Structure 1
Amino acid sequence: MKGFLKTFFASLLAILFAAGGLFVFILVLIGVLSSMSQPVPQVADGSVLVFNMSTAVQDRPVGMTRDAFIDEAIGGSRQAKVSLRTLTRGIRAAGEDDRIEGLLLTGSFSTEGGASGFAALKEVREAIEAFKESGKPVVAYAVYPSSRDMYVIAAADTVYMNPDGLVSDAGMSMSYPYLGGFMEKYGLGVQVTRAGEYKAAAENFVLEGMSDPSREANLAVLEDFWAEYLQVVAAGADIEPSLYEEKLNEFGMLAASDAESIGLVDGLLYTDELIAKMQEVSSKDAATKSFVQTSLSDYLLDAVKPEYSSDGFVAVVYAEGSIVNGEGKEGQIGGDKLAREIRKIRQDDKVKALVLRVNSPGGSALASEVIQREIRLAKEKMPVVVSMGTMAASGGYWISAYADKIYAQPNTLTGSIGVIGVFFNYEELAAEHGVNFDTVKTTEHADFMGMFRAKTDREMDLVQRQVDFVYDAFLEKVSEGRGLELDAVKALAEGRIWSGVDALDLGLVDELGGLGEAIAYAGQEAGLGDSPAIKELPAASNFLDELLSDVSQQAADASTNIALKPLVDLYREASEMTSRFNDPKGVYTVLPYTITIE
């Protein structure tokens, strides 16, 4: 019912907004009045800070989107989101806050929209370890912990688990959809050319499984990630990594009793027993009969404030999503849009350094170059530092290569220095349904970019020429930007992906570390110290911006039958998969898909 109300209000909102905007005004007024009626969050003295990890941790700032605003207006709940930097600042601040007696970790991280990657969670875990340095206890309570949850709660002093719980961690895997059979079955043509033996970005459209080079590179990265993960979890439990791996191979997933027997958790408790334990840390709350506590969301509102300085600030720019030509949309990096943001920064005298936070599988070669050009111009005026998140590969590496210093995490996926050309056509599908195309043209290749026919062998040779040209340029840029010999870059390129650990050894990154380390270094280089004032860009989105840019889509959604929602969702997922392929030349520096490590 709540989902129906959300769809209904969103559709009605779009229609009435187009008709005159009266409903928007009313809804805004309701929202404002509602927020004014809410009590200001209070941080109770002597309380336990409760971090419900059932949230999506994303790199960029979090704003109030249209859907979230509608949920608030109709009294619904929404998937919580929090920015990485806000979260880590809050946890670290709580360690020095006399009102906070301890930290309780509960819930399970959300990966919605590619959030909560291991590289980001490494910084969350490090913030918890910094909290522990205050001497305050950190307790974790797990029910069905995923591998992401285990990775973070390994930092806790004490880990309890529900007796009926299950460790939902069976190891790490990379699983990709391969559409070669589907494309052939339904007459959807795709033609691919590439530069780089390991450049597998279009394999999923033409093959029915991994190529040998792709399997080799994927397994090597996965083994690096798994080794780091095992070390972290085992160290937290004070057990041997081999023991945990052995038990996973034996049982698949560990029951609560299995986890306790090997020391992965310290005890099995029901919720009421956990409450009694936490009352020993703070005290009993007479009103709720629970323990005195403050939610992390309330604490962030109270303790994490905007940063200002008359000395200037470090601009932190978030490049998160696939890199596409033009402006892009939510969840994408529009080449023109991000370049314009960086241009404003380098022209602002108050900005003393730039940190580019990259979390991207790449995309359009042209858009990547547009962004890189602005990065190089900014570098002429100020220090430029790159912080690689969960993924900074292909085009994500292209835009990073000229930074003064590049930071990555051990579980960052990077590299993939290679180029592909990919073209779709529906010639066979159209013919099967009696649709034929006839063309007149002035030159031999005038209809070259159309999707109604396959490219000729000669045309594919021309595409290969462009791909080779872009690949050579990519190699030269990495060589120049990183100060590496061209032959050395050629040897490590070929489209192969690397873990952050291997990238450090190869000279693709300079140091292992997260966003915090990158900001501290940029601040020092700019003469602002290691805790500089920060300005985060692009600014968090808000629901009015979303309304103004998305009215037409909402009107279309209003006519969509709710019963067809699964098909609509599938269509949107497929559209997102192909929307990154919008380079005007059909040439891309992109991973095949957003890789998710499970």
Structure 2
Amino acid sequence: MKGFFKTFLASLLAIVFAAGGLALFIVVLFGMLAAMSQPVPQVRDGSVLVFDMSATVQDRPVGMTRDAIIDEAIGGKRQRAFSLLSLKRALIAAGEDDRIEGLLLTGSFSVDGYGSGFAALKEVREAIEAFKESGKPVAAYVVYPSARDMYVTSVADTIYMNPEGVVSDTGMSMSYPYLGGFMKKYGIGVQVTRAGDYKAAAESFVLEGMSDPSREANAAVLEDFWAEYLEALAEGSGIAPERYEAKLNELGMLVAKDAQELGLVDELLYTDELIAKMQSVSGVDEATQSFAQTSLDDYLLESVRPEYSSQGFVAVIYAEGSIVNGEGEDGQVGGSSLAREIRKARQNDKVKAIVLRVNSPGGSALASEVIQREMRLAKEKVPVVVSMGSLAASGGYWISAYADKIYAQPNTLTGSIGVIGVFFNYEELAAKHGVNFDTVKTTEHADFMGMFRAKTDREMELVQRQVDLVYDSFLAKVAEGRGLELAEVAKIAEGRIWSGVDALDIGLVDELGGLGDAIAFAGEKAGLGEAPAVMELPRAKNFLDELFKNVSQQTADASANVALQPLVDLYREASEMTARFNDPKGVYAVLPYTVSID
């Protein structure tokens, strides 16, 4: 029912705007804001900081969007999200805050888009370790913890588990949909070209399973990620990696008793027993009969403030999502929009260095080149550093190659230096339904880019020429940007993916480390010290910004699209796999799918 009201209110706002009722809209808006207004939360003296991990950890700043406002206005619970940088700073600050007596980790991470990847969670884990250095206790309470949860909570001093809980870590896997059979069955033609034996980005459209090169590369990356994960568990619990792996092979999933016997958790107890444990740390809250506590959400509101500096800033610019041509939408990296942010930063005299945080599978080769051009221009003026998140592959590597220094985590997925051409056609599908296309044209290939017929062998040769040219350019840029021999780059390219560990060994990255390390290096190189003031770009989106930016378009389209909006939203989600394929030449530097490692 809340979903219905959410759609209804969104549609109502659009109708109001389409009717030109700006005044009425403002009344509605301020009514919603007034309904949502809450007193500013206070950090309680002598309290336990409670980090409910039931949220997505994303790279870019978190804003208040239209959906979030409507959710809160109708009493719903919106999807929580933390920005990585703010979350880290809050956890570290809490360790030095005399009002905070300890830290409790609860809940289970959610994954939205490219958020909550293991590389980002490694930085969260390190921030909790920094909190521990204060000498304050860190406890965790888990019920159905995932691998992501165990990866972070393993750093706690004590891990409690519900007696009926289950550890939902069964090992890591990489699974992808292969649509070759589907395309054939429904008459959707797919023609592909590629440069690089490991460049598997088109496989999912034409094959019914993994190719041997793709399986080889995926298995190698997964092995590195799994080793890093087991090492983290061993560090926290003392469980030998081979013993933990053997138990998973034997039991599949660990129930609470198994986890305790193995040493993965310390004690089994229910929520009321947990409260009693926490009361011994912070005392009793007489009003609630619970323990004195402050939520991390409230702590963020008080402790995280915009930074000011007379010396200058390090601009942290986020490239999170698929790289697409043009402006891009929410969750995408628009070539034009991100290039504009980099250009504004390099033209801002207050910006003394730039850190590009990349969490992207790549996408349009043209859009990647537009972004890279601005990176190269920025490097002529200020130090430019790249921090790779969980995913910085293909076009994500393209935009990184010229940085002064590249940081990656051991569990970053990067590389995939290769290029593909992908073309869909609906000739057979249309014919099955009695639809035929007829064409007149001035030149032989005038209808070359149309989707109503398959391309001829000659036309595919022309596409391959484009792909080869872009691939050669990609190799040359990596060689120049990284200071490597072209032949050396060619050997490690071929579209193959690499873990951060292997990428360091072969020269694709300079150092293992996170966003904080990249900011500290940039600050030092710019003469601002290792803890510089930071300016985050693009700024967090909010409802009013999006509304007034797009008001003319909404006015024109709302009356026609309001009723169809739920279907449009559903279509957008269903077509995420192909949404990134908007390069005008049909040439892409992109991973084949959204990589999910669970």
TM-score, with length taken from structure 2: 0.97
8 Å CA contact 1:30, 1:73 repeated in 2: no
CA contact 1:141–1:160 (8 Å) conserved in 2:
yes
**Using the alignment, how far apart are the partners of 2:574 and 2:9 within structure 1?**
26
Give 1:204 deviation, angstroms.
Answer: 0.3
> Does residue 244 in structure 1 map to residue 244 in structure 2?
yes
Deviations along 1:48-95, one digit per CA (max 9) or x if unpaired, are: 000000011100000000000111222221111110001000000000
Go from structure 1 to structure 2 and tell me whether the alpha carbon gap of 1:293 and 1:555 turns closer, same or farther (over 3 Å shift).
farther
Equivalent position of 1:547 in the other structure: 547
Change (3 A) 1:242 1:556: farther
Q: Which residue of 2 aligns with 1:127?
A: 127
Corresponding residue for residue 29 of structure 2: 28
Cα separation, 2, equivalents of 1:570 and 1:248: 37
* Preserved contact between residue 49 and residue 296 of structure 1 (Cα < 8 Å): yes
**How many residues end up aligned between the 2 structures?**
593
Compared CA separation, residues 239 and 56, structure 1 to 2 (3 A): same
SS of corresponding position for 1:114: coil
Q: In the TM superposition, what are the counterparts of 1:146-545 in structure 2 within 5 Å?
A: 146-545=146-545
- Bigger Cα displacement from structure 2, 7-16 vs 48-57: 7-16
* Deviation (angstroms), 1:32: 3.4
Q: CA deviation at 1:28?
A: 2.3
CA RMSD of aligned residues (A): 1.3
Deviation at 1:106, TM superposition (A): 0.1
Provide runs of 4+ in structure 1 moved above 6 Å. Answer: none
SS of 2:446's partner is coil
Alpha-carbon shift at residue 35 of structure 1 (Å): 4.7
Which SS does the other structure have where 2:245 is aligned? helix
CA deviation string 1:261-288 (max 9, x = no partner) = 1110000010000000000011000000
* Deviation, structure 1 residue 544: 2.1
Question: Which residue of structure 1 aligns with residue 5 of structure 2?
Answer: 5
CA displacement, residues 349-384 of structure 1 (integer Å, 9 cap, x when unaligned): 110000000000000001000000000000000000
- Aligned residue for 1:223, secondary structure, equals helix
2:586 aligned partner: 586
Match of 1:40 in 2: 40
User: CA 1:557/1:123 → structure 2, altered by over 3 Å: closer, same or farther?
Assistant: farther
Matched-pair contact (CA < 8 Å) for 2:114–2:359: no
Q: Which amino acid aligns with 1:34?
A: A
8 Å Cα contact 2:36-2:73 kept in structure 1: no
The DSSP-based 3-state class of the residue aligned with 2:285 is coil
Residues in 2 aligned to 1:312 and 1:149: alpha-carbon distance in whole angstroms: 37
Query: 1:436 offset after TM fit, Å?
Result: 1.0
State how far apart, in whole Å, the 2-side matches of 1:114 and 1:554 are: 30
Amino acid in the other structure paired with 1:559: A
Question: What amino acid sits opposite 1:276 in the alignment?
Answer: A
In structure 2, the residue matched to 1:571 is 571
Cα drift, residue 392 of structure 1:
0.3
Q: 1:561 to 1:531 in 2, by over 3 A?
A: closer
Structure 1 contact 8–558 (Cα < 8 Å) conserved: no
Which residue in 2 is equivalent to 1:559? Answer: 563
Write the letter of the residue equivalent to 2:30: L
2:290 counterpart SS class: coil
Q: Which amino acid aligns with 1:217?
A: A
- The Cα of 1:239 is off from its aligned counterpart by 1.5
Question: Does structure 2 conserve the Cα–Cα contact (< 8 Å) formed by 1:27 and 1:73?
Answer: no
Q: Given that residues 60 and 318 in structure 2 are in contact (C-alpha distance below 8 angstroms), is that contact kept between their aligned partners in structure 1?
A: yes
AA of the residue aligned to 1:14: A
Partner residue of 1:103?
Answer: 103
In structure 2, the CA distance between the partners of 1:555 and 1:542, relative to structure 1 (3 Å rule), is farther
2: CA distance between counterparts of 1:238 and 1:27?
57
Deviation at 1:570, TM superposition (A): 5.5
SS of alignment partner, residue 284 of structure 2: coil
Alpha-carbon distance in structure 1 between the residues aligned to 2:133 and 2:559? 53
Alpha-carbon spacing, 1:364–1:75, altered in 2? closer, same or farther (3 Å): same
Q: Which residue identity is paired with 2:292?
A: V
Checking the alignment, whether the CA contact within 8 Å between 1:10 and 1:554 is kept in structure 2 is no
Change (3 A) 1:301 1:554: farther
Distance, in Å, in 2 between the alignment partners of 1:168 and 1:280 is 30
TM-score relative to the length of structure 1:
0.97
Paired amino acid for 2:123 = E
Asked if structure 2 preserves the Cα contact closer than 8 Å seen for 1:190 and 1:422, the reply is yes
Moved more, 301-310 or 395-404: 301-310
CA distance in 1, matches of 2:565, 2:418: 43
Task: Give ranges in structure 1 of 5+ residues lacking alignment.
Answer: none
Distance, in Å, in 2 between the alignment partners of 1:24 and 1:361 is: 39
Q: 1:556 to 1:214 in 2, by over 3 A?
A: farther
- Could you tell me which amino acid in structure 2 is paired with residue 27 of structure 1? V
Using the TM superposition, give the Cα deviation of residue 481 of structure 1 relative to its aligned residue in structure 2, in angstroms.
Answer: 0.3
Per-residue displacement from partner, 1:478-501 (whole Å, max 9, x unpaired)? 000001111110000000000000
Cα deviation for residue 575 of structure 1 reads 2.2
Residue type at the aligned position of 2:49: L
CA separation in 1, counterparts of 2:565 and 2:373? Answer: 45
Q: 1:257 to 1:241 in 2, by over 3 A?
A: same
Tell me by how many angstroms 1:556 deviates. 6.0
Q: Which amino acid aligns with 2:93?
A: A
The DSSP-based 3-state class of the residue aligned with 2:585 is coil
Q: Alignment partner of 1:111: what SS?
A: coil
**Percent identity between the aligned chains?**
77
Amino acid at match of 2:200: A
Q: Which amino acid aligns with 2:251?
A: F
Aligned-partner residue type, residue 161 of structure 1:
M
The range that moved more, 438-447 or 58-67, is 438-447
Deviates more, 1:540-549 or 1:354-363: 540-549
Which consecutive residues of structure 2, in runs of 5 or more, have no partner in the other structure? none
Higher mean C-alpha deviation, range 546-555 or range 360-369: 546-555
Decide whether the 8 Å contact of 2:419 with 2:467 is kept in 1.
Answer: yes
Give yes or no for contact 1:55–1:81 (8 Å, CA) kept in 2.
Answer: yes
- Shift in Å at residue 307 of structure 1? 0.7
One-letter amino acid of the structure 2 residue matched with residue 478 of structure 1: V
Tell me the alpha carbon deviations over residues 527-546 of structure 1, each in whole angstroms, 9 at most, x when there is no partner.
Answer: 00001011000000011233
Q: Distance in 2 between matches of 1:252 and 1:559?
A: 47
Question: How big is the shift at 1:555?
Answer: 5.3
Partners of 1:496 and 1:65 in 2: how far apart? 37
Amino acid at match of 1:362: G
Return the letter of the residue paired with 1:521.
F
Shift of 1:4: 1.2
In 2, the alpha carbon distance for the partners of 1:544 and 1:39 equals 22
Which residue identity lines up with residue 341 of structure 2 in the other structure? E
